[in-house]
Amino acid sequence: MPEAQRLQVAGEALLGLAELCAARASVLISEWEEGDRDPIVERGFFADVVRQTMAVDLSDLLEPTPPRQRRTKSTSNPAGSIAAPVDKAAVLAMVDQLAADDQETQKQIIFATAHSEDMTRWTAAIAHCLQAAPDYPVSIAQLSQSLRISWVEVWLGVLLGDFQLEQQGEFYEAPVWVKLPAKA
């Protein structure tokens, strides 16, 4: 065979092999794509193997509730009862007396509380504590610890005294600092 025909036959053979490889690759790719998908099944296919609800009866494990006893209304008056009708005027007089006693009791409580507070002593103690370091602020907690008085007394003394208050940072997170007033 002449060389031109041999080359033509060889080219056709190579073309046939290339088409065969392309067809085989196409089949393999489509099988691979189909194998990667989830299977399509009918609705209710897994109904026998999947539990959607469960009910457990625990009544055998619980103690029976005791029977409730019902109260019966007695129609007779109990012996020794102190309930009796009262005159309206007597009730109103008793209420007026209670109101007068209550107001007097409230006045006594107010006067006792006012006399137990010693604002001048608290403010003097705070000022004396702050004079140790007049340029540096002290927190309310530190004042309460060093003076050994309650937070309430420190707060009242600081608020009613002539002190500078400052807070650095967030409202609920940062302590309140107390300093002596700046001299004018």
Contacts of 144 (CB under 8 A, 6+ apart): 150, 151, 154
CATH number, position 142: 1.10.10.10
Inside any domain, residue 41: no
- Evaluate whether residue 61 is within a structural domain: no
- Domain range for 139 is 119-179
Give domain status of residue 140, yes or no: yes
Average pLDDT, stretch 91-107? 74
| Residue 75, domain member (yes or no) | no
Whether the predicted pLDDT of 18 surpasses 90: yes
pLDDT score at 13 = 95
State the pTM of this model. Answer: 0.37
What the block records as the tokens of 3 is 């060389």
pLDDT in tens, 100-155: 766 777 666 556 545 567 778 888 888 888 888 777 788 888 888 888 887 777 88
Token pair 């009730």: residue: 91
CA dist 31 and 19 (Å) reads: 18
The total of other beta-carbon atoms located within 10 Å of residue 153's CB is 19
Domain count, the chain: 2
pLDDT of residue 179: 86
Residue 82 lies in a domain: no
- Let me know if 157 is exposed, middle or buried by CB neighbors in 10 A (0-12, 13-18, 19+): buried
Task: Examine residue 167 and state whether it is found in any structural domain, yes or no.
Answer: yes
Report how far residue 143's alpha carbon sits from residue 139's, in angstroms, rounded to the nearest whole number.
Answer: 6
**Residue percentage of the chain with pLDDT more than 90:** 15
Radius of gyration of the chain (CA): 48
Q: What is the pLDDT of residues 123-137, one digit of tens each?
A: 888 888 888 877 778
pLDDT attached to residue 76: 59
CA angle in degrees (0–180, nearest 5) for 78-82-84: 100
Higher pLDDT, 144 or 22: 22
